[in-house]
Amino acid sequence: MTTSSTSVLFGTIDEVGTALADGSITSLDLTRAVFDHIEAIEPDIHAFIRLNRSDALKTAEEADRRREANASLGLLDGIPISIKDQIITKGLETTAGSKILQGYIPPYDATVVQRLKAAGAIIIGKNNQDEFAMGSSTEYSAYGATSNPYDFSRVPGGSSGGSAAAVAAGAGFASLGTDTGGSIRQPAAFCGVVGVKPTYGRVSRFGSIAFASSLDQIGPITRNVRDAAHVLQVIGGPDPRDSTCRTVPMPDLLSDLEGGPKGLRIGLVKEAFEPDGLAPDIAERVLETANQLEAAGAELVKVSLPSLPHAIAAYYLTATAEASSNLARYDGVRYGQRANMGNARKVDLVDMYNQTRSEGFGPEVKRRILLGTYVLSAGYYDAFYVKAQRIRTLIGRDFQRAFEHCDALCLPTSPVAPFAQGERTSDPLQMYLADIYTIACNLARVCAVSVPAGLDAKGLPVGVQFICNHLQEPMLLRVARACEVQTGGYCPPAPVQGLVTEGP
């Protein structure tokens, strides 16, 4: 397989949509090429837990028949897309990266998957992830770690690392991830692609396996901002099956996408450039990007989020408490695998619970369950959980004050570049600090995006993050697109292209 014959795999949804429309490629050939490409690169990247080849090829044939009959369902019709394993897919094993759900075949699709299928998208497989979305490196999967397409010795970020790695590596044209504290944006930054965390309630969570219900959100990971707008347009909007889903219809995300930076007020967050852990070259790249926007017509405004330094503590109290509650259902009786208790005629229920959860959950999930149970226990609820909710309220107020002075906030997505595999697994605090710039957005329930901002001196991707107020996705994507025009956006990873050129 040559690089030229696979160049379409690194293209955009618009580009491949044009190729499908003019007949220069069929959806069936495209889907076969994607699976061949995955076969070549998976041994080095491991972006997927399972593939959906047979069903995907049938769906591709149906898309081609619709196109021949001039009955195409739209731009996503016949486009291969992957799904994070956190999101339910009918008839396709869904495990949330955990042993405790191994073998679970859902009888229904998540709302977002239903909407993608209704638009004709082809579901090619389930992406690897940190178990139950608890991690920042995709090293905490029960099915092995995922590697960064730009450097196989480094992590792709997490928890949606498999989704970001797949999109960056040409294994599908988009993926759906979930974002509880940065799990779309941080891996998007690490893998040089675009990741959107919509406003809480903008996209239905029905069919998304819960981690922290007041923080979780589904969003797209794509190669450019326009593709993100296309996917978000399809998956967003009201859903009566999700009581937290907003009833406000999704607006047209493409009408003002090319509005440019002129007249926009971009807020540089003072506290975002103060932490000692911020790598100098990342700070420099983010500020350079902001200056490029200013030169193109935007106004830079200095703003403050005083509560930002407290977001980590508030987040890890809130998220672990909710995780402890949500994951209590996996006890070997109602949900998930049950431990083999031998041939004993009488099994102690507590022993069965203990053994099932000990075998089924990985160490990071156990750590967070224990932290959350402690936080919610008598005598500590007021001291920790209630105080965290008060800080969460302050964070939300800080965002609202900042948005009085600007249209969007600008800050790094991550304080560091993609780090080496194994570098932080023995130090959970350092792993958690990788999310320092992303978690406040989830606590405030506003929308955010990570956009590629070039490569650092080692050739590793750098992401710049923009945050907008509630329900301001059109503005968010306009700012992101303006940034993309200045930075050049996605750049295909050379190591992956080298693999394909040399063959599997």
How is 91-125 classified by DSSP, letter by letter?
TB---TT-GGGTT---SS--HHHHHHHHTT-EEEE
Size (the chain), residues: 504
Q: Quick one: which of 120, 134, 6 has its CA closest to 65? A: 120
**Contact of 12 with 224, CB cutoff 8 Å:** yes
Q: Environment class of residue 382 by beta-carbon count within 10 Å: exposed (0-12), middle (13-18) or buried (19+)? A: exposed
Report residue 87: phi and psi, to 5°.
-105, 130
Q: Environment class of residue 241 by beta-carbon count within 10 Å: exposed (0-12), middle (13-18) or buried (19+)? A: exposed
pLDDT given for residue 504 in this prediction: 41
Alpha-helix runs per DSSP H in 311-445: 311-326, 349-360, 363-376, 387-403, 428-432, 439-444
Residue 270's contacts (CB-CB under 8 Å, 6 or more residues apart) are 302, 303, 304, 305
Quick one: tokens of 500? 């394909």
pLDDT given for residue 203 in this prediction: 98
| The one-letter amino acid at 388 | A
CA–CA distance, 19 with 13 (Å, rounded to integer)? 10
Quick one: tokens of 183? 């799990």
> What is the CA angle 311-467-401, rounded to 5?
70
Per-residue pLDDT in tens (0 to 9) along the chain, 504 residues: 333 456 899 999 999 999 999 999 999 999 999 999 999 999 999 999 999 999 999 999 999 999 999 999 999 999 999 999 999 999 999 999 999 999 999 999 999 999 999 999 999 999 999 999 999 999 999 999 999 999 999 999 999 999 999 999 999 999 999 999 999 999 999 999 999 999 999 999 999 999 999 999 999 999 999 999 999 999 999 999 999 999 999 999 999 999 999 999 999 999 999 878 899 999 999 999 999 999 999 999 999 999 999 999 999 999 999 999 999 999 888 777 888 877 666 778 888 888 889 999 999 999 999 999 999 998 899 999 999 999 999 999 999 999 999 999 999 999 999 999 999 999 998 999 999 999 999 999 999 999 999 999 999 999 999 999 999 999 999 999 999 999 999 999 999 987 876 544
Residues with catalytic roles:
84, 159, 183
Q: What is the DSSP letter of 141?
A: -
pLDDT given for residue 2 in this prediction: 38
CA–CA distance, 127 with 81 (Å, rounded to integer)? 10
pLDDT given for residue 4 in this prediction: 42
**Contact of 433 with 415, CB cutoff 8 Å:** yes
Q: What is the DSSP letter of 140?
A: -
Report residue 199: phi and psi, to 5°.
-55, 140
Residue 256's contacts (CB-CB under 8 Å, 6 or more residues apart) are 474, 475, 478
Sheet holding 48-51, edge to edge: 48-51, 122-127, 80-84, 174-178, 218-222, 194-197, 447-455, 461-468, 408-412, 265-269, 299-303
| The one-letter amino acid at 318 | T
Domain boundaries defined on the chain? 3-266+406-496
Query: Phi/psi class of residue 85: alpha, beta or left (left: φ > 0; alpha: ψ in -120 to 50)?
Result: alpha
> What is the number of other CB atoms lying within 10 angstroms of the CB of residue 381?
13
Looking at the DSSP assignment, which residues form a beta bridge with residue 208? 87
Q: Quick one: which of 214, 436, 457, 207 has its CA closest to 319? A: 214
| The one-letter amino acid at 256 | D
CA–CA distance, 139 with 362 (Å, rounded to integer)? 11
Quick one: tokens of 373? 């149970």
CATH 3.40.50.300 fits domain 3-266+406-496? no
**Contact of 92 with 105, CB cutoff 8 Å:** yes
pLDDT given for residue 336 in this prediction: 79
Residue located via tokens 């493409």: 254
CA–CA distance, 231 with 175 (Å, rounded to integer)? 9
pLDDT given for residue 1 in this prediction: 35
